[in-house]
Amino acid sequence: MSSPVHAVHHAPHSFFRKWIFSMDHKVIGIQYYLLGLFSVFLGMSLSLLMRYHMVNPNVAVSWFGKLWPTAAAGGIMTPELYLSLMTMHGTIMVFFVLTTVPQSGFGNYFLPIQIGAEDMAFPVLNMMSFWTTFLALIVMVAAFFVQGGAPLSGWTAYPPLSGAGPLTGPGEGLGQTLWILSIAIFCGASLMGAINFIATTVDLRCKGMTLMRMPLTCWTWLVTAILGLLGFAVLLSAGVLLILDRTVGTSFFLPAGMIINDHIIANHKGGSPLLWQHLFWFFGHPEVYIAILPGMGVTSQLLSTFSRKPIFGYRAMVYAILSIGFLGFLVWGHHMFMSGMNPYSAMAFATLTMCIGVPSAIKTFNWIGTLWGGKIHFDTAMLFALGFVSLFVTGGVSGIFLGQPALDLYFHDTYFVVGHFHMIMGVAAIFGMFAGTFYWFPKMFGKMMNEKLGKLHFYLTFIGVYCIFTPMHYVGIAGNPRRYADFTQVEYLGKLIPVHQFMTYAAFFTAAVQLIFLFNLIWSWWKGPKAAVNPWNCTTLEWTVPSPPPHDNFGGVHPVVYRGAYEYSVPGATADFIMQSDPAPVVSGD
């Protein structure tokens, strides 16, 4: 190897070192992606079971009875089983999909390449981070299989329900303990990941890659890492206190005088369930941005690339990302308007919540400004980025409603909230992942994905998710409570049952459509046409290296960056894009 700069780092040869216990950020990124792919199908299956039960609460399904001989005896789900499905759906989706894929999956793969580094700053830590996440998933899924099954307390695990032990319900024994344990393990994994992301971004940028030349994806991964670092540390502390309340009889969150299922609880006193809510939501609100920020980064990158225009207001975008990250830590109280908080506190939290609307609107405005007058290419990746903008606006607008204490008191425990957060945190973030998949698949696997299948998948999914989640706002306004396993017997909700049936059909339809994506993914990986180095005519560094990139990303050459990440349609330039690594002088064509 006669490299001009230094020796090429060769990939390890053994199967285990290369694919299982790999320290290569690209392999780890794919591992995270696959973990998320497994989790998203698991989480989706749980939601289908819930939607089925909601509209058919009295229909016996024989294989329910086989799966859960006690919780679904005779094939009819108990309300507790429904709650455990809800808990696991939320937990798996939030932690193992929304937190994992956009950041740890795509971020791991593309952050080092986009900033011109050979790998993450701490490859061993990176490997440990993935396997710790994997362990957390195993422990979480194990909760299904222990006595009593999975916990009932939702992904927010509010005490006393989550703290008082098996008396409170079938999943509240070992299942809930495993849940907390899994989350604590996950916190550790996230901290390791955050250390890597921050150190890599700060210290391993190549020559010329100043902060203000970084692709916006890198900015969102950096800010997400900071949010994860500060948020998961607090969740870890809260989890430690909760597990102590459950196992050694402390009273951090458990008050005196509880009577649970006719039993007087005498060994706890003085604790505060609200304390858990504060600690949880101090993590929980930034978690929303952990889920959505990387999607924003991918969307910015794609809107610019596929409309062949520079991103509108790059600096404003960076400052908006930073201020969303900062404000995200000051608004946790808007999840607790119902908790009896002082109205003045509620007003402060509401005002700060409205403030987040400003950077969010800046981002949306700049996305539209980027599209304005561009030569838009409607590739599948671009369609999903546009879908992201649509869902982000839809979900954001209902957030303005919920940020008002007076309105939230009414909406809080209704389907309005379910519709809101699924739009903005769930589906928008997942559209960001789809966009990232179609955009980066050629680089990751060296093959192109099928555009026809991709577009079919996009349009059906886009229609499908709106059909599932828009009616939720309507039934919510009509007063339909959430977290109920069965409301067929409630008189005032009777007329809403057809709407629920529609949502259930839409959910099954949308889930079935995802098989097109899965097929496209596997088929393209296996038989797709070979991808060129830069199939989308992009400017960023990952498109300067072969698809897939070599083990050390740049084949022993240190890249040098001469310009920002979004130089599209530069007047006088020979092509309609200039690579970041392109040193050639631009002929002035005025």
Partner 1 sequence: MGMAASITHDAVQGPPPPPIDIGWGGGGEPGGRGADRRASFTGLFVLLAASTMVFAAFTSAFVVRRGLSDMNDWVSIHKPPILFVNTAILLVSSFILDLSRRALKAGARSSFNLWWTIATALGILFLAGQAVAWYQLKQAGVYISTNPASSFFYVLTASHAFHLLGGVAALVYVDIQALRLRLGPAKRTAIDVSAIFWHFLDGLWVYLMILFYVWG
* Stretch of 17-25, 225-233, 440-448, 501-509 lying at the interface with partner 1 (CB under 8 A): 225-233
User: Residues 59-98: x/- map of binding to partner 1 (CB under 8 A)?
Assistant: ----------------------------------------
Task: Identify residues 237-276 at the interface with partner 1 (CB under 8 A).
Answer: 237-238, 240-241, 244, 248-252, 267, 269-272, 275
DSSP string, 415-453: HHHHHHHIIIIIIHHHHHHHHHHHHHHHHHHSBPPPHHH
* Stretch of 207-215, 352-360, 477-485, 540-548 lying at the interface with partner 1 (CB under 8 A): 207-215
Q: Output 6 or 495, the one with its CB closest to partner 1.
A: 6
Please report where in the chains the tokens 């130089």 appear, as a residue. Answer: 567
Q: Read off the tokens for 293.
A: 């920020």
* Stretch of 42-50, 103-111, 134-142, 234-242 lying at the interface with partner 1 (CB under 8 A): 234-242
Return d(Cα 392, Cα 395) in angstroms, integer. 5
Spatial CA neighbour of 398 closest among 386, 388, 387, 411: 411
Task: Identify residues 541-560 at the interface with partner 1 (CB under 8 A).
Answer: 558, 560
Task: Identify residues 104-133 at the interface with partner 1 (CB under 8 A).
Answer: 116-118, 121-122, 125
Q: How far is the CB of 5 from partner 1 (least distance, A)?
A: 9
Beta bridge partners of 577: 568
Spatial CA neighbour of 324 closest among 213, 227, 432: 227
Q: Which residue among 96, 144, 219, 282 contacts partner 1 (CB under 8 A)?
A: 282
Q: Output 413 or 567, the one with its CB closest to partner 1.
A: 567
Check: CB of residue 580 under 8 Å from CB of residue 541: yes
Residue 5 phi/psi, 5° resolution? -110, -55
Q: How far is the CB of 270 from partner 1 (least distance, A)?
A: 4
* Stretch of 204-212, 285-293, 382-390, 393-401 lying at the interface with partner 1 (CB under 8 A): 204-212
Q: Output 165 or 442, the one with its CB closest to partner 1.
A: 165
Which residues, other chains included, contact 439 with Cβ-Cβ below 8 Å and sequence gap of 6+? 298, 301, 302, 381, 536
User: What letter would DSSP give residue 16?
Assistant: I
Q: Output 491 or 587, the one with its CB closest to partner 1.
A: 587
Q: Output 264 or 270, the one with its CB closest to partner 1.
A: 270
Please report where in the chains the tokens 């250390």 appear, as a residue. Answer: 195
Return d(Cα 187, Cα 184) in angstroms, integer. 5
Q: Which residue among 287, 379, 413, 567 contacts partner 1 (CB under 8 A)?
A: 567
Task: Identify residues 141-170 at the interface with partner 1 (CB under 8 A).
Answer: none
Return d(Cα 100, Cα 179) in angstroms, integer. 17
Q: How far is the CB of 575 from partner 1 (least distance, A)?
A: 12
312 binds partner 1 (CB under 8 A): yes
Spatial CA neighbour of 314 closest among 416, 196, 174, 217: 217
206 binds partner 1 (CB under 8 A): yes
Spatial CA neighbour of 97 closest among 457, 389, 426, 388: 426
Q: Output 40 or 120, the one with its CB closest to partner 1.
A: 120
Q: How far is the CB of 35 from partner 1 (least distance, A)?
A: 23
Q: Read off the tokens for 245.
A: 């309340």
How many CB atoms lie under 10 A from the CB of residue 589?
9
339 binds partner 1 (CB under 8 A): no
Return d(Cα 287, Cα 272) in angstroms, integer. 23
Q: Output 426 or 549, the one with its CB closest to partner 1.
A: 549
Please report where in the chains the tokens 């108990």 appear, as a residue. Answer: 78
322 binds partner 1 (CB under 8 A): no
368 binds partner 1 (CB under 8 A): no
Return d(Cα 283, Cα 332) in angstroms, integer. 8
Q: Which residue among 196, 301, 504, 534 contacts partner 1 (CB under 8 A)?
A: 196
What is the total count of residues that contact partner 1 (CB under 8 A)?
A: 71
